[in-house]
Amino acid sequence: MERKAIFSAKVGLLFLAPALVFVAIFLLYPFVRVFMLSFTNQTLLGTTAPNPDWVGLDNYQRLFDFDRWMRLGEFGSALKITAQFVAGSALIGQVGLGLLIAWAFYRKKGVLRETVYTLVILAWIIPETVVAFTWVAFLDWEFGTLNAILGTLGLGRPDWLFKHPLESIILFNSWRGAAFSMLLFSSALETIPPSYIETAEVAGANAWQKFRDIFFPLLRGHILTDLILITLWTFNVFTPYLLTGGGPIKKTELVSIYTYRTAFQGQHEFGKGGAIAVVMMLINFSLAIVYLSMIRRRKA
C-alpha cells in the first residue's frame, strides 16, 4: 500500500525553497563563477586585473605541464604531497588512532578513559591558530618541548619542521582530528550487543580474533563512512600552513596551500587559482560519488 504523503510535492518544494535559494546563491553561483574564471587570466594586481583575456584551457595546461609538474612548488608535487598527507594523517592517523582509542576503551569506565577522551576532544575543539602556535612551539628545534623530552631521554633532537616537515604536519593533523573518529567509533561500538563478545570469550577467542570476526565486520559501514569523510576533510585542510607555510622549499605545500599561494599571494592569479579549484572540486566530487555509491550499496 502506498503511503499517503502529508504534503503535496508543491508544498514540499516551498519548504525547500529558502534552502535552494541559499544553495544557488552561495554554492552554485560561486561554482559557476570560478569555473568561468578558470578560462581567463584574471589577476587582482597587474594589467590583467581590469582587462582579463579569455585564455581557453591555458590555465589547465599550465597545471598539467608534465615537464615540470613534479617540481616542488608545482601542481603535481602538491597533489603528491596531499596524497601522502591524506594517507598518513587521515587513513593511518585519524581513522586508525580513533579506532584504536575507541576499541581500547570499549566497555571500560573510569578516570583513565575520561582523561583520554577529554584530551582527545580538547585537541579537536581548540581554535586552529592557537593549536598551530602551540605546535610550532612544541616542535621547535632548539627550544621545543618535544625535543626537550627526546633530548633528556637521549633520543636525539630531530629538526622537525626543517628536516621532517611532512611527518610533522601528519603527526599534527592526526593528533588534531582523531577525536571525530574516536567519537564515531565509540558510539558505533555501543551498538554491538555485549552477548556477541561474551559468547566469543566463552569460546576462547583472543583479542585479535574478536576484532577480526566481530568488531570489524559490524563496524565496516562506520569505518567506511568515517574514511570517506575524513579523506574529504583532510584533502581540503589548510591549517598546516600555519605550521610550515608550505615550506621549507614547498615540501609541505598541500593543494590547498598551493591554491592559496596562487590565488591570494603574489599577483593573485585568480584565473589559475580558479583552474586549481575546479580540479579540486572534481576530485572532491569523485570522492563523494564513491562515498554515496558505497552507502547505497550497503542499504540495498
Partner 1 sequence: MSKSRLVLTFLLAFSLMIAAFGVAAPARAQDGPVTLTITCRCVAGGVNNNLVVWLTTYVFPTFEKMMADQGRDVKVELVEFGGSDEQLKEQYALDLSVGSGYDVMSFDGFWVPEFVGAGLLKPLEEVAGSEVNDWEGWGHITPGIQAILGYQGQVYGLPMGTDVRQIFYRNDLFQQAGIEVPWQPTSWEELLDTARTLKDAGVAIPIQLNAGTPMGEATTMQGWFMALLGAGHHMYDFDQHKWIVSSQSILDALNLYKTIYVDEELGDARMQLLQDGRNRSFVEFRDGNVGMLVEGDWFWRSVIAPGSETGIENRNEIVSWAKMPAKEPGAGYNGQDFVTISGGTGWVINPNTKNAAEAWALLSYMSSEDPARAFELMQPRISFRDDVPVAGDPVMTAMAEALLPLTTVRPMLPEYPQVSIEAQLMTERVVSGEMSPEEAMQAFDDAVTELVGEANVIRLPLN
**Contact positions toward partner 1, by CB under 8 A?**
8, 10-11, 14, 17-18, 21-22, 25, 43-47, 49-50, 62, 67-68, 71-73, 159, 161-162, 244-245, 247-249, 264-268
Give least dist CB 194 to partner 1, A: 49
Give least dist CB 11 to partner 1, A: 6
- CB nearer partner 1, residue 147 or residue 181: 147
- CB nearer partner 1, residue 45 or residue 282: 45
Cell of 9: 510535492
Relative orientation angle of helices 216-236 and 270-299, to the nearest 10 degrees: 170
- CB nearer partner 1, residue 42 or residue 186: 42
What is the rounded distance in angstroms from the CA atom of residue 145 to the CA atom of residue 137? 7
- CB nearer partner 1, residue 47 or residue 195: 47
- CB nearer partner 1, residue 4 or residue 297: 4
Omega before 248 within 30 of 0, i.e. cis: yes
Is the separation of the CB atoms in 42 and 270 below 8 Å?
yes
- CB nearer partner 1, residue 68 or residue 212: 68
- CB nearer partner 1, residue 46 or residue 193: 46
What is the rounded distance in angstroms from the CA atom of residue 110 to the CA atom of residue 98? 19
What is the rounded distance in angstroms from the CA atom of residue 287 to the CA atom of residue 46? 37
Left (φ > 0), alpha (ψ -120 to 50) or beta: where does 46 sit? Answer: left
Give least dist CB 262 to partner 1, A: 11
Q: For residue 86, which of 165, 169, 162, 179 has the smallest C-alpha distance?
A: 169
28-294-193 Cα angle (round to 5) = 125
Give least dist CB 10 to partner 1, A: 5
Secondary structure (3-state) at 167: helix
Q: How far is CA 109 from CA 112, 117, 207, 290, in A?
A: 8, 11, 19, 37
Give least dist CB 5 to partner 1, A: 14
- CB nearer partner 1, residue 14 or residue 104: 14
Is the separation of the CB atoms in 156 and 148 below 8 Å?
no
For the four alpha carbons of 21, 226, 95 and 121, in that order, the dihedral sign comes to positive
Give least dist CB 78 to partner 1, A: 14
Is the separation of the CB atoms in 158 and 164 below 8 Å?
yes
Give least dist CB 237 to partner 1, A: 19
Give least dist CB 291 to partner 1, A: 30
